[in-house]
Amino acid sequence: MLDLKFIRENPEKVRKALKDRGMSGEILENLLHIDAERRALLRDLEDLRHQRNLISEEISKLLQNKENSQEKIMEAKKIGEDVDRLEGRLSQLDEKLKDLLLNIPNIPHESVPVGTDSSYNKVVRTWGEPKEFDFTPRTHLELGEYLDIIDFPRAAKLVGSNFALFKGDGARLQRALIDFMLDLHTKKHRYKEIWPPALVNRMSMTATGQLPKLELDMYRLRDDDFFLIPTAEVPVTNLHRDEILEEEKLPLYYTAYTPCFRREAGSYGKDTKGLVRVHQFDKIELVKFTKPEDSYKEHEMLVRDAEEVLQLLGLSYRTVLLSTGDLSFAGAKCYDLEAWAPGLGRYLEVSSCSNFEDFQARRANIRFRTIGGKIAYVHTLNGSGLAVGRTLVAILENYQEKDGTVVIPEALRPYMHGLDRIIPSIEVR
């Protein structure tokens, strides 16, 4: 969240940030009004408590001198009632202020393009050329059915629509991608692997910014206030919640493979078929904890780490800097990596790499102690390295042959036990 003192001293900057994100400034005005009332109330409370202390001293002296103290006692009682009333109001204001602070988004970095939606995003670089075919390329849905490696009907039978079931070489390819990505990030890029729980509590979801704003998009348990994770960002970032790290240990790099769960509330009708938008998907996450002065250098390095996955897989892609209107609630700056999917005929987001500055760290109370002994908030960053299902889409559609078979990228063949091509299964189904 934003620092209240910062908001109080820089209302125009926050007002502009809300406008650039396409949001109303009403929430800011409400916050400033409540903050002003709260501060005035605190002054009144301080005065009342001071008066009560003085009267208590007078009552003590009267009792010591065996003089009548009844009038002062009644006066002290009245002040006590006023204190109780103001403390009750203060508690109400504190809750309102907390709720407003939790719903004010991060301030976009000055390098972020200003615009109300994705049409203002900026392509900053490309890699490779979109593959051309001498035949009409099939979509991953058609390839998955023909090769019998992805089964949407049976997944729907098991749970419902917008779930996928991988089988045979499809399941092997999914597992190969996971192992390949984890090996790259742990062995070459120096991330420490984490295997976190797939459930987190409300505090964890709030700390990273998913709650309260995105609660309708999450899967919540009925009997416990736990949530299925929408991304490994949530448990991994919360590893250091309420901790003070030592400066000499920063930066910290973590990576994690997890299944991810999202209800996709409000997304009905968009990409409802195939692997592009499903309720459960697999993802490799990259998370960094850095010193503030290093976070934007580390952000660029994180993006390059994610890009290397696509390069090693031989998938053409573009790197896109998101505009203020397309930026996530908690993000200060974000790049999307979009792989070319020839069957779909468009670029497909396979990674989103964000710098949150100290926005999440304030919510999660993650700080570090400088060598000089000063305590400050860390900066948190994360990115997909990559989304497995969508990367599989790009592989199937880019490496398909005219006969419907799919060549395995060379980087994945060791993980596929030497298999170099997926062909239709001859097994009886």
Pull the structure tokens for residue 250: 């920063």
pLDDT at 429: 39
Contact (Cβ atoms closer than 8 angstroms) between residue 361 and residue 140: no
Closest CA to 385 of 218, 262, 231, 235: 231
pLDDT at 267: 53
Q: Which of 8, 202, 277, 413 is catalytic?
A: 277
CATH superfamily of 4-102: Serine-tRNA synthetase, tRNA binding domain (1.10.287.40)
pLDDT at 427: 53
Active site residue 277: yes
pLDDT surpassing 90 at residue 388: yes
Identify which has the larger pLDDT, 339 or 427: 339
pLDDT surpassing 60 at residue 299: yes
Of 55-64, 123-132, 190-199, the poorest mean pLDDT is in 55-64
pLDDT at 69: 84
Question: 132 burial class (0-12, 13-18, 19+ CB within 10 angstroms)?
Answer: exposed
pLDDT surpassing 70 at residue 11: yes
Active site residue 220: no
**Residue 257 and residue 178: Cα distance in Å, rounded?**
7
Q: Which of 21, 138, 362, 390 is catalytic?
A: 390
Question: What proportion of the chain, given as a percentage, has pLDDT over 90?
Answer: 92
Q: Which of 58, 215, 308, 349 is catalytic?
A: 349
Widest CA span of the chain, in angstroms? 108
Q: Which of 38, 262, 363, 367 is catalytic?
A: 262
Average pLDDT over residues 392-418: 97
Contacting residues for 80 by C-beta, under 8 A, at least 6 apart:
52
pLDDT surpassing 70 at residue 428: no
Of 175-179, 255-259, 262-266, 367-371, the poorest mean pLDDT is in 262-266
Residue that is written with structure tokens 């907390």 in the block: 98
pLDDT, the chain, mean: 95
Active site residue 262: yes
Q: Which of 352, 354, 357, 384 is catalytic?
A: 352
The predicted-structure confidence for 139-188, as pLDDT tens digits, reads as follows: 999 999 999 999 999 999 999 999 999 999 999 999 999 999 999 999 99
Average pLDDT over residues 354-376: 97
Q: CATH second-level architecture of 118-422?
A: 2-Layer Sandwich (3.30)
pLDDT at 66: 87
Query: Which whole-number Å values give the CA distances from 119 to 130, 337, 355, 370, in the listed order?
Result: 21, 16, 21, 42
Active site residue 349: yes
Average pLDDT over residues 415-423: 95
Closest CA to 351 of 398, 316, 387, 314: 387
pLDDT at 380: 98
pLDDT at 426: 63
pLDDT surpassing 70 at residue 198: yes
β-pairing, 192-194 with 252-261? parallel
Average pLDDT over residues 74-103: 95
Sequence spans of domains, the chain: 4-102, 118-422
Confidence of residue 270 (pLDDT cuts 50, 70, 90): low
H/E/C letters for each residue in the chain? CCCHHHHHHCHHHHHHHHHHCCCCCHHHHHHHHHHHHHHHHHHHHHHHHHHHHHHHHHHHHHHHCCCCCHHHHHHHHHHHHHHHHHHHHHHHHHHHHHHHHHCCCCCCCCCCCCCCCHHHCEEEEEECCCCCCCCCCCCHHHHHHHHCCECHHHHHHHCCCCCCCECCHHHHHHHHHHHHHHHHHHHHCCCEEECCCCEEEHHHHHHHCCCCCCHHHCCECCCCCEEECCCCHHHHHHHHCCCEEEHHHCCEEEEEEEEEECCCCCCCCCCCCCCCCCCEEEEEEEEEEECHHHHHHHHHHHHHHHHHHHHHCCCCEEEEECCCCCCCCCCCEEEEEEEEECCCCEEEEEEEEEECCCHHHHHHCCEEECCCCCEEECEEEEEEEEEHHHHHHHHHHHCECCCCCEECCHHHHHHHCCCCEECCCCCCC
